[in-house]
Amino acid sequence: MDGIILEQLARAFSSYPDERDLGVCLVDIGGGTSDIAIFTDGAIRHTGVIPIAGDQVTSDIAMALRTPTQHAEEIKIRYACALAQLAGAEETIKVPSVGDRPPRDLSRQSLAEVVEPRYDELFTLILAEIRRSGFEELIPAGVLLTGGTSKMEGAVELAEEIFHMPVRLGAPQYAKGLSDIIKNPIYATAVGLLIYGARDDESSGGSNGSQLGSGFATRVRDWFGRHF
């Protein structure tokens, strides 16, 4: 551990300079929480945390479909849709049952009807936080969604219906090598942390990196000394 940075700020380092200057709200929908950061004139102006995210969606699916959590997570990733009108009623999925019961067939639209209310609740709470911040009229670039849970089909369309402003998925733009993998909303915070750390190391003449390496080697040596 060489330093600490606010997660919402680290995420912003991965891209979006034009939108940060114009005024934008970054929303990272993760597993346990959804983190909000509002930028205007390139600077962070407001942050917030909503205690609803991907884990709650998985729990809703598990309870409504009466399926184990690990299967609910897989169903969410592969088949879920945040806007029921985008899911065809003729599309069906196999839902594993609890115990030795055989799997059941379920329409994808029925699954979307379970998921949509939770996303509706989340986006409504985010809108309330934006309004509470006082910056609602100062983010003409709209809302950028990042994080693994933001990738669900229909999330952007539902968000636009609720926010009444432009919404898009935000993926890292500065990644090199493996760019086809890294340019994914899931990695926005991780890429931002790397960029921030690299810039911080450059500004200190590379001393942080050398100190970090030295400190790590010392800790390893001490650990072996205590245990062997």
Tokens at residue 43, please? Answer: 């600077």
> Between vectors from CA 151 to CA 144 and to CA 131, what angle results, nearest 5°?
35
pLDDT tens digit sequence for 130-167: 999 999 999 999 999 998 899 999 999 999 999 999 99
- Does 158 map to a domain? no
- Does 198 map to a domain? no
What range defines the domain where residue 81 resides? 54-115
- Does 93 map to a domain? yes
- Does 58 map to a domain? yes
CA 200 to each of CA 2, 9, 36, 203, 211: distance values in angstroms, whole numbers, following the listed order: 10, 14, 24, 5, 13
Q: Please state whether the predicted TM-score (pTM) of the whole model is above 0.95.
A: no
What percent of the chain is predicted at pLDDT more than 90? 59
Total domains in the chain come to 1
pLDDT at 216: 52
- Does 60 map to a domain? yes
Lowest-confidence region among 8-12, 112-116, 178-182: 178-182
- Does 69 map to a domain? yes
- Does 71 map to a domain? yes
pLDDT at 213: 46
pLDDT at 177: 66
Residues paired with 29 in a beta bridge: 34
Q: Is the pLDDT of residue 98 over 70?
A: yes
The band of 75, judged by pLDDT with boundaries at 50, 70 and 90, is very high
Q: Which residue has the tokens 């196999």?
A: 94
Q: Check which CATH number belongs to the domain holding 72 and give it.
A: 3.30.420.40
> Between vectors from CA 179 to CA 173 and to CA 182, what angle results, nearest 5°?
75
The DSSP code for 97 is P
- Does 78 map to a domain? yes
In whole angstroms, what is the distance from residue 95 CA to residue 212 CA? 48
CB-count burial class (<10 Å; 0-12, 13-18, 19+) for 19: buried
pLDDT tens digit sequence for 159-197: 999 999 999 998 777 656 666 777 777 888 888 888 788
